[in-house]
Structure 1
Amino acid sequence: MPELPEVETVRRGLEPFMQGRQIETLVLNRADLRFPFPADLRQVAEGRKVERLGRRAKYLLIELEGDATIIAHLGMSGSFRIDEDVPGQFHHPRGKDAAHDHVVFHLSGQQGPVRITYNDPRRFGFMDLVRSSEIDRYPAFAALGPEPLGNALSADYLAERLSRSRQPLKSALLDQSVIAGLGNIYVCEALHRSGLSPLRIASSLVAENGSSSPKLEELARQIRVVIEEAIEAGGSSLRDHIQTDGSLGYFQHRFRAYDREGAACITPGCKGTIERITQSGRSTFFCAACQE
């Protein structure tokens, strides 16, 4: 499933083609995806201008004029296609089979008309409609923690949230109420760069008086660095880069730990190898020699 950097890459790919344009026609080729479409989705969307393309965690936000926002989630196999170009080269190929074209946006603007299609063979994605002024009360957003690139994510914040946690550190960081949008790939990468074991108890990073520690400072920094680098590289389960002329280029994101089972650890001076274990049904990649 696409993680935060991949969704941000899609947002950046769509932005030049959607933002500022008016939705002339919204075609729904079926009644539902994972959930039924809102009954008034077409009625609300048609005739309105897209004011902004935003993102919250792993959700794409299509903000319309008149206090309305379409919330879109890609699920496992969803992708947007700008006419015939898919913004992002996914790890698993994204099809252009019209049988899976479920939503089509026909937009107009000064730059001319454009057609954007949402294709989803497995139909695990969804689209919902909310008032923009009430978006913070949307059920999926109400309990989300801060964004990993936001100012609210700090060592002091992590100390407060982890001080009573007896969970393994990786499991605690995957809790979306702790950090919004931080998924399996990037937790593995941030922990490897921080030299922290995914197996250690989360509260062990917090000082006895409840204050932050140098290790928490480094973890907060590395979470930010990993996400920033992943976005710059176009993500990892998809690759996409918007060039200055608006065309699409592609970059491969290289992992230091994730999906490198049996490979030599690249931490300077470390002679260990990357191991894979399973935590809560998910693969964890780490180096037992340098991650403590």
Structure 2
Amino acid sequence: MPELPEVETVRRTLNELVSGRTIRSVTVKLPRIIQRPAEPEQFQDALAGRTIQQVERRGKFLRILLDELVLVSHLRMEGRYGVYSSEEPPELHTHVLFHLDDGTDLRYKDVRQFGTMHLFLPEEEFRLPPLAKLGIEPLGPDFTLQALRDRVGKRTSRIKPLLLNQELIVGLGNIYVDEALFQARIHPERTPDTLKPAEWKRLHEAIRTTLASAVEAGGSSIKSYVNGQGEMGMFQQQLLVYGRKDEACAACGKPIVKFVVGGRGTHICSRCQPMKG
């Protein structure tokens, strides 16, 4: 958390708030957030005077495009961006402040301190970590039914951990994998070789529709997620299994159960998602 829909919502919000703004200076309060370059002073010097052209996304990463540089930012568990008046005192756990030319700051706050920032020359970011080995975008035009089967279908692991593997498909996290598998009526412990053609089709459609609906709703605010304007996502109101342990399944009425698959808490309806397809 945040997953693809939340990061996409942050991207859209930041585009509205800071595109076209020039960074006057940068203050780094927690150096370990800056993974590249090696020294935070280099990061600060490189960004001073740069204009934010556009904010894009790759999987769960933000790509902040500046003139002649690209800032790759990962929010990890609880990272968030917000725009504040430069005169307003920084809140607790604010680790990086981008001082803009209109008297505002773009501030990065992270209670858990797991977020990262990498600075690259344009296109260099795709050849180096952390973006170099990322898989296909599930909302992009290349994510066809055949592409899903090519990436996942020949593997012998359980289907849920495969869908969470960012080197195969980017952006999917625990919430949306549980939701997509429920909509596709597939048990998360089944292996790809057991899936029938109709199930592959349902899974492909469920991944795309679940993510698209979540983006439309501004993501899911399960814990602390808010967009760049401090607004919560609303898709949690549409979740059918995730976080609904012991509640009645919306499709059949049987209680939702929770157990662990691949180290992740997993929610299913055992009637709608039988282990044998």
Calculate the TM-score normalised by the size of structure 1. Answer: 0.84
- 1:105-158 per-residue CA deviation (whole Å, 9 max, x = no partner) reads 1112xxx33211111232111111011222211222222111110111121112
Matching residue within 184, 191, 194 for 1:194: 184
Matching residue within 156, 179, 182 for 2:172: 182
Contact kept? 2:2, 2:225, Cα under 8 Å: no
Match status 1:285 vs 2:275: no
CA drift of 1:36 comes to 7.0
Aligned counterpart, 1:143: 133
Q: Which segment is superposed worse, 216-225 or 231-240? A: 231-240
Q: How far apart are the structure 1 equivalents of 2:31 and 2:230?
A: 32
Q: Which segment is superposed worse, 30-39 or 197-206? A: 30-39
Code of the residue aligned with 2:205 in structure 1: it is: R
| Secondary structure class of the residue paired with 2:249 | coil
Code of the residue aligned with 1:264 in structure 2: it is: A
User: Could you say if the C-alpha distance between residues 36 and 157 of structure 1 is closer, same or farther in structure 2, counting changes exceeding 3 Å?
Assistant: closer
Aligned counterpart, 2:202: 218
CA drift of 1:104 comes to 0.7
Q: Identity, % of aligned pairs?
A: 35
User: Could you say if the C-alpha distance between residues 61 and 172 of structure 1 is closer, same or farther in structure 2, counting changes exceeding 3 Å?
Assistant: same
Contact kept? 2:185, 2:272, Cα under 8 Å: yes
| Secondary structure class of the residue paired with 1:54 | strand
Aligned counterpart, 1:263: 247
Contact kept? 2:36, 2:43, Cα under 8 Å: no
Code of the residue aligned with 2:269 in structure 1: it is: C
What is the aligned-residue RMSD (CA, Å)? 2.2
Q: Which segment is superposed worse, 4-13 or 26-35? A: 26-35
User: Could you say if the C-alpha distance between residues 63 and 215 of structure 1 is closer, same or farther in structure 2, counting changes exceeding 3 Å?
Assistant: same
User: Could you say if the C-alpha distance between residues 25 and 241 of structure 1 is closer, same or farther in structure 2, counting changes exceeding 3 Å?
Assistant: closer
Code of the residue aligned with 2:77 in structure 1: it is: M
| Secondary structure class of the residue paired with 1:257 | coil
Q: How far apart are the structure 1 equivalents of 2:81 and 2:148?
A: 35
CA drift of 1:272 comes to 2.1
Equivalent residues, number: 265
For structure 2, list consecutive stretches of 5 or more residues without a partner in the other structure. none
| Secondary structure class of the residue paired with 1:228 | helix
Contact kept? 1:167, 1:201, Cα under 8 Å: yes
CA drift of 1:262 comes to 0.8
- 1:248-273 per-residue CA deviation (whole Å, 9 max, x = no partner) reads 75452221010111111112xx2422
Taking the TM superposition and a 5 Å limit, the aligned residue runs for 1:34-49 are 35=35, 38-39=38-39, 40-49=42-51
Matching residue within 53, 66, 83 for 2:55: 53
Aligned counterpart, 2:158: 168
User: Could you say if the C-alpha distance between residues 37 and 131 of structure 1 is closer, same or farther in structure 2, counting changes exceeding 3 Å?
Assistant: closer
Aligned counterpart, 1:14: 14
Contact kept? 1:37, 1:127, Cα under 8 Å: no
| Secondary structure class of the residue paired with 2:130 | helix
